[in-house]
Structure 1
Amino acid sequence: MPDNEWPDPRLPYPEPAPGRSRAVLAAAVVVLVLLAAGGLAWRLMSNQAGTPVAEPSAAPSSAPRQTARPCPDPKLRVAAAPEIAPVIQRAATTLSQAGQRCSEVAVQAVEPGAVLAAKAQPDVWIPSSSVWLAAARARGRTWTTTGTPLAWSPLVITGPEAIGRLFAPDGRTSWAGLAQGAADGRVPAVRMPDPLLTTTGLLGVHAVRQAIARVTPDDGIATLQALTLRSRLENASADPADILAQLSRATDDTAASYQIGVFPATEQQLTAYQKGGHRVRLVGGPPVDGLVDADYPYATRKGVPAELSKRLRAAITTAALTEAGFRDAATKGALTLPADPEALLGPARQWSGYKSVAFQVLLLVDGSGSMNEKITDRAGHTVTKAALLRQSGATASRLFGEDTSLGMWLFGTSGPTGPAHVEEVSFGPLAGSADGKNRRQQLAAKISSYQPVANAGTPLYQTVLDGVQEMRGRAKPDTATVVVVLTDGSDGGTRFTMSQADFLKRLQAGADPARPVPVIAVGFGPGANLPALQAMAKVTGGRAIAAKNPADLASGIAQAFVAAHGSA
């Protein structure tokens, strides 16, 4: 089947046994997600391999057997979010006349992100959020909704009861608490679904960012804290239904608790699991700092059989939906989602684009006198650039995962014979020791006590040359090895001063395609030489980021972090 085409609509959607997870639903449709350059391509296909469902055998007869004719194409093709698809299928079967073998309605369980990306589109779409319809309209696809959504289900943060006190103290959950617990290593594991494929992932990422932004006024620092959770995920494309299926088979609740950890799901999924009476009990509930609803609109394309579509809609009863664990009204206090779908999809792409790879980074921090200059932060307070760096850098230091190796240099010479840079944190595993201290703790301490050198020059070029050479010797396969530079000025004022042309010539001469070391440079403030930073980034395959307003430093660090994890 060619990429992006809809699966054969004549293949039946099998009815799962009660309490079974979407692992069974996948017997009807398997969604293979292929991450392609420049965007996402999806392949939708059925694993039924075109095999017809066998009719029950009658008593033996000597009469010749007749081969059943293949079913004609259905008149109505329906794509439904996997968790609601069984209810839709049961409703569709009521439309068939007694004894009729072929149905006029074909129901397929498909994640909404896969429908959005597919070239072929269904006649009726029941995604798990109206956001996907808005995203489709932004792509020029028109969907008409009929009435209010069929159902609602808020997102919950859940996990095994054995670790409930770690993520749900007093039975209350929160996105900010989950992020903090993941950063501190207090929660054994955190899993999130793919936000570009699933509603739980998409709305979960939005809710995380909203919850953190509510208590963090600086947008950049809020972004950093949200990415901290992303950097600590055990699995960033987990399927809650698969997790629940795994838990339903577990016989050791303690082992399963620490292996699975914490994950978001819909209330409907959690309710259905709890009704199963499994050994591993789950706890949790809607987060107190970011209640968000999945809703299930009934949408049709232009030209579909109107009468049949209307009959199907009428056959999907509120009683059947509530019996399956859905709500019949929107959840009180749920977040109002942005009208522009890009407000959700943009952060989702950033989240999804983060690469969990072994990471080696050398952090080069400008220690020249200009960092003592005063600026106005977003709250209108007068602070120094150095003070803002201390605040933002301390948050940034939490981003790096346990598989990170890191070192930090400070550059800025105050005398004619001074060195171009000084090692502040020796390079090595972040979880290891440096000078008798945990390297992560030492990094945080160095950043929090950062003080620029008064009247110091800026040996930017020499420091970058030395840093790239140092990390090139450490480069190895399957590892992102980068140099991150933070500066507010231009090269000059020291015995190491050189022309930009000479610098770029030397930087390019040492390049080794087998051992790439991208330079990710953050130009801090209006005095930064952005053209020079762009040039060094281009030569090394890195990226230059402008923080034009000094208060945007945290955002610059966040972008640098994302770029570094996208360079592998």
Structure 2
Amino acid sequence: MGRHSLPDDRAAAGGGDRPPRRLRTVAIATVLVLAVAGGAAVAVQGGLLSFSKSCEEDAVHLSMVASPDIAPAVRAIADRARTDEVRSDGRCVDVNVVARDSYKVADALASGARPDYQMWLPDSDLWLTRAKGAGDGTAITPGGSVATSPVTLAAVPRAAEHLRWPKKTYTWAELTGAAMESGRVRLGSADPARSATGLLALNSIGASARKQGGDSDTRVAATAKLLAQRMSDGDTQVVATLPQDGSGAEAGNPARNQVVLLSEQAAFAHNAESAADGKLDLFYPEDGTPLLNYPLTMVDERHQSTDESRAALRFTILLSEDSSLRTFREHGFRTTYGAADEKVVAAAGGRSPQPYDATQPPAPTDEALQETLGLWTITVQSARLTTVVDASGSMAATVPGRNQSRMDVTKASLIQALDQFTPNDEIGLWEFATRLDGDKDYRQLVTTAGLGDPVKGGGTHREKLAAAFAALRPVPDGATGLYDTALAAYKEAQRTYVKGKFNAVVILTDGSNQDERSISRSALVEELKSIADPTRPVPLLAIAVGPEADREELDEIAKATGGGGYQVNDPAEIQAVILQAVMTAGQGARAAGE
């Protein structure tokens, strides 16, 4: 939208200083007041307010999908814009606001679906990364934040008293640990794969646990396992698990949670509709409350007309005006930079000395969130992975900037990745290069088994697998026998499929197929498509390591099985990419089963 001047921009900015992420505020000095014959404008079906005749004939109609928590506030602003007949280039702006879960919108955009809306307001910018997918989805243009809300831990009065609210303060790790220790307190969460609140909270728990030291990954996995047992699909559903009278366990209903991971705004909305003994008390962890930041995002701008683009910009400006900020506050939201409002905090259940007005920590990186989500996916649904590693001679090449070969860095990354898997996860190891085992291009080194299983001679399968990773060596003069290996590994994973686990084949290669005797790429893709069984999914996750690897080739092969191709220029990135690939394929498998 930067190619246009501001529509109907006739006044200077106002409202005081604004932070860098805030949308620029332009005060509209002229309010158009039109007399409507026969009385005031009336509400029409669907909550939309009628325009005067002049507006109805020439309005610019736009659609916005918004996170369900903020949709009522934005809808109120859109309705007021109709009443006031807010204009863009002389034409009235008519915005229809539809509530839709952010994860559903992100997944649809990532798939390249043609949207029927021009604007999107998710509850967090983490969904923007998901919506971009591999870069071939519907184009989006991120804008600034319109409001914020901190992620907290909400408790019904009995549970809050047990946790010594409000005087007792905790870190994230201490707070969830205290909730887990008591049989009288049941902790629930929305699914981190579908809820920004759940994912940001889980990421904060993990970061807090790492600061404690010790076996932090095990503690975080234990917390994730507990949350998974009392997980709800989304934020609306997790609120519905709370008891209405504040009693919880004493009422004898084990289906009810007493403590939940929740945004301040969600607690505000819950308390507004609850009787006194059903209101929530909020804990604000000492090590910071991450923010939902509601970034206004333009969608598929190249297919918007100039009038639509300028009207969308006009509505963007409207959302940052003082009247709109008051509307957001009335609905329980904070300012765009997270400053606490005493009335909002009190209504939501916050009270001093809980640090509700402390400075928020820096937003987590995309990489940190991907790792957390990968850990969640693996923890909640145990994985069964066949790891297939390229042992061709090119793996002996030195990694730029490192005094190590591709194979050495790959091995180290795989060993590190093992730490993210639980004892119940099953992992095996193959290696491949041309004529590695007689006429075969592949060889199984370690059978697929539970990492916690004991092995002959002592130790665990995890230790055996780590030793096998460490022992991998490039085969001198060995070429890349990719196609036959991919087919054989896939068939074996299908044959040994374990129901109830996330079954997948992970292939790592630094080149394209070099075995002229093998099946062709087109024949391989067709056979994979023909034998893939959606009732027993085994996605192939193919990772191209280094600049010589052909990601497009790998992606074509992997997509035939419901998987995907990924690229890493530095083998040290493999650990994070494996977690991302498992998470993405795991979500796809679950969505296909719904």
CA drift at 1:485: 0.8
| Amino acid in the other structure paired with 1:265 | L
TM-score (norm 2): 0.51
Corresponding position: 1:200 with 2:197: yes
Corresponding position: 1:542 with 2:568: no
Q: Distance in 1 between matches of 2:161 and 2:329?
A: 43
Aligned residues: 438
Aligned to 2:385: 361
Asked if the contact 1:425/1:442 (under 8 Å) is kept, the reply is: no
| Amino acid in the other structure paired with 1:155 | V
**Secondary structure in 2 aligned to 1:361?**
strand
| Amino acid in the other structure paired with 1:467 | A
Corresponding position: 1:264 with 2:283: no
CA drift at 1:334: 1.1
Corresponding position: 1:334 with 2:357: no
Residues 202-351 of structure 1: matches in 2 within 5 Å?
203-204=200-201, 234=228, 235=231, 237-239=233-235, 240-245=238-243, 248-251=246-249, 263-266=260-263, 285-286=284-285, 288=287, 290-293=288-291, 320-325=343-348, 331-335=357-361
| Amino acid in the other structure paired with 1:547 | V
Question: What runs of 5+ residues in structure 2 fail to find an aligned partner?
Answer: 1-41, 51-65, 77-96, 107-114, 132-138, 213-218, 296-313, 333-340, 590-594
Q: Distance in 2 between matches of 1:521 and 1:174?
A: 36
Q: Which of these residues, 512, 519, 531, is aligned with residue 512 of structure 1?
A: 531
**Secondary structure in 1 aligned to 2:171?**
coil
Asked if the contact 1:227/1:351 (under 8 Å) is kept, the reply is: no
TM-score (norm 1): 0.52
**Secondary structure in 2 aligned to 1:455?**
coil
Asked if the contact 1:373/1:384 (under 8 Å) is kept, the reply is: yes
Corresponding position: 1:154 with 2:161: no
CA drift at 1:210: 8.5
Aligned to 2:489: 467
RMSD: 6.7
Q: Distance in 2 between matches of 1:503 and 1:400?
A: 33
Q: Distance in 2 between matches of 1:347 and 1:535?
A: 23
Aligned to 2:395: 371
Residues 86-97 of structure 1: matches in 2 within 5 Å?
none
- For each residue in 1:472-513, what CA deviation from the matched residue of structure 2 results, as whole angstroms up to 9, or x when unmatched? 323477765432111224555xxxx44455475467457424
The change in CA–CA distance for 1:414 and 1:232 in structure 2 (over 3 A counts) is farther
The change in CA–CA distance for 1:205 and 1:308 in structure 2 (over 3 A counts) is same
Q: Distance in 1 between matches of 2:397 and 2:516?
A: 25
CA drift at 1:465: 3.1
Asked if the contact 1:143/1:300 (under 8 Å) is kept, the reply is: no
The change in CA–CA distance for 1:200 and 1:536 in structure 2 (over 3 A counts) is closer
**Secondary structure in 1 aligned to 2:491?**
helix
Aligned to 1:484: 506
The change in CA–CA distance for 1:387 and 1:175 in structure 2 (over 3 A counts) is farther
| Amino acid in the other structure paired with 1:382 | N
The change in CA–CA distance for 1:75 and 1:519 in structure 2 (over 3 A counts) is closer
The change in CA–CA distance for 1:413 and 1:162 in structure 2 (over 3 A counts) is farther
CA drift at 1:546: 2.2
Question: What runs of 5+ residues in structure 1 fail to find an aligned partner?
Answer: 1-70, 90-107, 165-169, 183-187, 216-224
The change in CA–CA distance for 1:230 and 1:544 in structure 2 (over 3 A counts) is farther
Aligned to 1:528: 549
Residues 388-427 of structure 1: matches in 2 within 5 Å?
388-400=409-421, 404-412=425-433, 417=438, 420-427=441-448
**Secondary structure in 1 aligned to 2:583?**
helix
Residues 64-213 of structure 1: matches in 2 within 5 Å?
73=44, 113=102, 154-157=150-153, 172-174=170-172, 192-193=189-190, 200-201=197-198, 203-204=200-201
